[in-house]
Amino acid sequence: MTDIKDFLKELISLPGLSGYEAPAREVISREWQTLVDELSVSPLGSLHALKRGSSPEPRPRILLAAHMDAIGMMVTRITPEGFLGFTEVGGLDPRILPAQPVRVYGKEPLRGVIVQPSDRLLPPSQKGKPVEMKHLLIDTGLPAEEVRRLVKVGDPIAFDTEPLELPEDLICGHTLDNRASVAALTVCLQTLQRAVHDWDVYAVATAQEEETLGGGFTSPFEIRPTLAIAIDVTFAKGPGVNDYRGKTLGGGVVLGWGPQSHPRVFDDLKALAERLDIPFEIEVYPRASGTDAYAMQIVAEGIPTMVVSIPLRYMHTPVEVVSLSDIRRVGRLLAEYILRLTPEDVKKIQWEEA
């Protein structure tokens, strides 16, 4: 089995924007193929992995979803001088963009850097302020005619920062939202590899979560799980996030409590974490969770869902930070939960209001 740190560093070195997930999907598929019984790709591009249970058919099914798509950019224009204008894919703060290295995926990958005009050349309303995205450009260093030959409007652009190991078991890089959760799901599958469990387990690396929740809507429609759990990241404490909204980086699993969290499943995961001495925090969200759980919950007649998260600093930037310890804890908790599921538990997953 691949060491989870090496796997994650490889994964966050790849592009794979919403709608363009193939590079990430290929690496995840390679890692999962020895851990499961079946692999397939949905019509939308999500990766489905099935590890069969041992109880008599028809077996209950649990779906574990971690989206593999990433934020990034897309070419919107090519200036006469050969610079590239762009727009966001998935939500970006323009303040963090200037001077970032990027890779443009045209006819061949091109390296470039995001640049901004001199302050004196900006409109008066922009002087002395963070530069709006519409004024930013990408410089590939190539002549204009070569840029126009290799690049067209609509080509995707990914961040090109290298993964960085920090002290205290931390990893820094782009696309940790949400490939950190893909790594946690991989830890779960590694733990289950030689184990016997009653339920069928579907591990799904969903597509297009950042833009459409497309994989969250379509994969459970095909799989029809008895229960679905979304694994995602949440805001860790850090600069500007030190109140109740931030969770402790390296502090363990984050269990979501809100309209996408089934009360019985929440209680069972909380009790199991306590029993296994896995540290956890609770995140309260009174509205939609902003994860694939929102989509999965309302598929067909409705699916019981839960949200399990990993604390992450600097979300939607090229320097996101997570703890490998948190990733391993999430993977272990999910695996231990699956090992304890029995066919009789289906009857217990009923909505009960306290």
Q: Which residues are known to be catalytic? A: 209
The Cα–Cα gap between 303 and 293 comes to 9
Q: With residue 281 as reference, give the H or E element that holds it.
A: strand 280-284
Maximum Cα–Cα distance across the chain: 72
With vertex at residue 131, the alpha carbon angle to CA 127 and CA 135, rounded to the nearest 5 degrees, is 105
User: SS3 for 298?
Assistant: coil
DSSP code, position 204:
E
User: SS3 for 126?
Assistant: helix
One-letter amino acid identity for 205?
A
CB contact at 8 A, 305 and 297: yes
Residues in the chain: 354
Residue keyed to tokens 């999965």: 296
Q: With residue 219 as reference, give the H or E element that holds it.
A: helix 214-223
Cβ-defined contacts of 272-276 (< 8 Å, 24+): 272/333, 272/336, 272/337, 272/340, 273/333, 276/332, 276/333, 276/336
The Cα–Cα gap between 130 and 120 comes to 13
The Cα–Cα gap between 57 and 171 comes to 42
Scanning the chain, the segments in alpha helix (DSSP H) are 4-11, 22-32, 144-150, 176-192, 214-223, 263-276, 292-297, 324-340, 345-348
One-letter amino acid identity for 354?
A
Residue keyed to tokens 């762009």: 86
Backbone region of residue 175 per phi and psi (left: phi > 0; alpha: psi in -120 to 50; beta: other values)? left
